[in-house]
Amino acid sequence: MLSWAMEKAPKLSIVIPIGPSEEDLLHLNSWIQKSEPHWEWIISAVEGAQNQDFIENQLDTRFKKIFTKSGRAKQLNEGAKRAEGDFIWFLHCDSEWNDSAIKSIKTCLDRNEDCIYFFRLQFKGKRPMWMFLNEWGVRIRSEYLRIPFGDQGFLMPQKLFWSLGGYDENAKYGEDHLFIWQAHKMGVPVRPTFKKLRTSARKYQDLGWSQVTKRHLSLTWQQAKPEIHDFLATKIYKLPF
């Protein structure tokens, strides 16, 4: 792994939200081992959840561990408030990444741009045969339409995150989706790294590919419609007539 002089490197904080029922977490300890030593790791979990004792006692002491009220947006924002880095990488706890992703992050930090970077999503493990369609759809949605979701690992300057208002804690779902629309409305670039993050296809396997896919498409469209209207309104307002 490439070494980086600490005094020349913008410090990165990685914020990992953990749901109250998440149990498969020991792999998080290995993440610290393969990352840069000066990166800050923050776990944002749910206070009083069944996994709180495990997180407190079994996960590496180098994790900064915070416990807050349930809700992904709330956990993400609280984690960001505790971040000391110039940049924040929001990472789901079931993601997998490699040295190629690390090198890409370093490149993004070196550029020091006011933009949101995201990764290319790939599903891992046991998966329904039609999951290649989901990967294809995600690539079109994110790399062509520039609407990535949170499981694609948003990376951005901390100041930019707060200038966009953070994640909407009143949203019933899709706080990551709404955050990206806010970025578009404010003219913030959303850029792919073209490096892979792998994530679990467990819910598709457990609940059925067609049922989960249809539900995601329906909820995304319902949430996107007013955002598209507002986005177009901001563009029309700026026309010189």
pLDDT score of 19: 94
**DSSP letter string over 49-109?**
-TTHHHHHHHS-TTEEEEEE-S-HHHHHHHHHHH--SSEEEE--TT-B--HHHHHHHHHHH
**Alpha helix positions (H), 164-207:** 175-185, 202-207
Q: How far apart are CA 54 and CA 20, in angstroms?
A: 11
Q: How many separate domains does the chain show?
A: 1
User: Residue 188: inside a domain, yes or no?
Assistant: yes
Taking the model in full, what pTM does it have?
A: 0.90
Contact yes or no for 89/15 (Cβ under 8 A): yes
Range of the domain at 227: 8-237
pLDDT at position 42 is 97
Q: Which two tokens stand for residue 223?
A: 């949430």
The string of pLDDT tens digits covering residues 182-193 is 999 999 999 999
Q: Looking at the domain assignment, is residue 17 inside a domain?
A: yes
CATH number at residue 209: 3.90.550.10
Tokens in use for 111?
């550029």
Q: Is residue 138 part of a domain?
A: yes
User: Tokens standing for 147?
Assistant: 């609407």
The residues near 173 (Cβ < 8 Å, ≥ 6 apart) are 219, 223
Does residue 2 belong to any structural domain of this protein? no
Would you say residue 75 lies in a domain?
yes
For every one of its 241 residues, what pLDDT tens digit does the chain have, with 9 covering 90 and above? 444 444 444 589 999 999 998 988 999 999 888 888 889 999 999 999 999 999 999 999 999 999 999 999 999 999 999 999 999 999 999 999 888 999 999 999 999 999 999 999 999 888 888 999 999 999 999 999 999 999 999 999 999 999 999 999 999 999 999 999 999 999 999 999 999 999 988 888 888 989 989 999 998 999 999 999 888 887 665 544 4
Q: Per this entry, what is the length of the chain?
A: 241
Would residue 3 count as lying in a domain?
no
Closest CA to 207 of 215, 199, 198: 215
Instruction: Note whether residue 22 is domain-resident.
Output: yes
Question: Which residues, at least 6 apart from 28, have a Cβ–Cβ distance to it below 8 Å?
Answer: 16, 43, 59, 60, 63, 93
Residue 173 lies in a domain: yes
SS3 (DSSP) at 162? helix
